[in-house]
Amino acid sequence: SPSVTDTLWVLKRKRGAKNEVTRHKARCVYNNRRRMDKSIVETFSPAVRHTTVKASVACSVLLGRRRYGFDVTGAYLQGEYQEHEVVYARPPPGQRELDDSGYPIVWRMRVPLYGQGDAGLIWFRTMRDQLTGDPPRQQFHQSDADPSYFWKRS
């Protein structure tokens, strides 16, 4: 059975050009120091190799093709668990700990949080499935030589 992981608040002060506090931000993260389940086996998520980027840019220039890149805001929070993955977490300190009946509140997580060891892998798997999934959604192909490189014929 899955274990329950503690969470905590990480608080930040965002500063402006004159070093004045412009806003406060809070993020709920896993408290890995008190993590009960240390059984995560796979945490590696691939990143594109520099040689792949250089070769791709060179080919684009030589062939007169356009290149597109993008950044996903809060990417680690956009990953999706698979059906067999069940993760539970306690609310962070300061949040309600008991329900109206007096039972401890435990969240069943739908998406990873920052601080989760395999959040990067979950995000990569979600993105790969969107680009190449079965049935093909975006009709991209994953490179055999570099798993972080996806290509598409136009």
* Residue 38 pLDDT: 55
CB 34 within 8 A of CB 4: no
Task: Identify the helix (H) or strand (E) that includes residue 58.
Answer: helix 50-63
Please give the Cα distance from 3 to 62 (Å, whole number): 53
With 60 as the cut, is the pLDDT of residue 2 above it?
Answer: yes
State the chain's mean pLDDT as an integer: 86
* Residue 90 pLDDT: 92
Task: Look at residues 131, 7, 73 and name the one whose alpha carbon lies nearest to residue 142.
Answer: 131
* ∠ Cα 30 36 41 (to 5°): 85
Per-residue pLDDT tens digits for 14-58: 999 999 999 999 988 988 665 445 555 567 788 889 999 999 999
Rounded to the nearest angstrom, the gap between the alpha carbon of residue 107 and the centroid of all alpha carbons in its chain is 18
Q: What is the dihedral of CA 113, 114, 120, 124, to 10 degrees?
A: 50
* Residue 68 pLDDT: 80
For residues 86-104, give the mean pLDDT: 91
The residue type of 127 is: M
